[in-house]
Amino acid sequence: IARFPPTQRGDSRLLHFDGASGALRDRRFADLLELLRAGDLLVLNDTRVVPARLHGSRESGGRVEILLERVSGPRSALVLVRASKPARAGSRIALDGGGEARVLGREGEFVELEFDVEPLELFERQGEIPLPPYLGRPAETLDRDRYQTVYARDPGAVAAPTAGLHFDEAMLACCRSAGVAIAALFALDYLWVPFPMRDLPRPAHLDALARLPAGLAAIDVPTGAGPRAAEDMFLQTRHR
């Protein structure tokens, strides 16, 4: 796995899996157009990655890392806290870059924090992109752009839909020119949600799914035809 992205988004490798034969073939991402057909539907996750990681110091001086899970109120959020000792209700964390957070309590593995301002505003201003640990490096300025798809729209994810990172505007335009339809779904917290809404683990997510029915309406999978999938990209074939 590359620790840094290529200079051009499309200059990446592509592993092609032939579902019929089971054969694997090394290709380039630019070859994707050879694998798509007119009438296919390309469904993209257009959720924008939030700069969801903050750093700060406890009153004792110990360092703290904060990873946003979800906003829980006008000035509060549930987060994962990484520190040498558990966060205690009532304690305060001085945030790098200014401001502070007060510990309200725990909810399972998460800690609820209260901030001086609206949480997403704070994270957008002072947070860093939460790169996955397997990259083995801290986030850099370039990651605010490159750990984000070119079609990202509304904030809501703490991890990028990685297959989509390779698309640029030129590739999307070529897909449309080739007769490939493109639809977008919003997947809060990077959870795919085309399953019954009663099964959602957290009711707080429901408000963020307002665009979901319109996206799903474009996905008309023919009877007996399963979608061709590549991680968060779903290629629905209409060929019988």
Q: What is the DSSP string of 136-165?
A: -S---TTHHHHTS-TT--SEEESS--GGGG
Judge whether residue 210 has pLDDT over 70. Answer: no
Q: What pLDDT does 188 receive?
A: 53
Q: 79 Cβ partners below 8 Å, 6+ apart?
A: 66, 67, 68, 69, 110, 111, 112, 113
Q: What is the mean pLDDT of the chain?
A: 80
Q: Is the pTM of this model over 0.85?
A: no
d(CA 112, CA 79): 6
Judge whether residue 151 has pLDDT over 50. Answer: yes
d(CA 177, CA 97): 46
d(CA 234, CA 203): 26
Judge whether residue 20 has pLDDT over 60. Answer: yes
194 vs 114: which has the higher pLDDT: 114
Please state the rounded mean pLDDT for residues 113-118.
Answer: 96
Cβ contact 18:117 at 8 Å: no
Going by pLDDT thresholds of 50, 70 and 90, the confidence category of residue 111 is very high
33-92 pLDDT, tens digit per residue, is 999 989 888 888 888 999 999 999 999 999 999 999 889 999 999 999 999 988 899 999
215 vs 113: which has the higher pLDDT: 113
d(CA 219, CA 203): 25
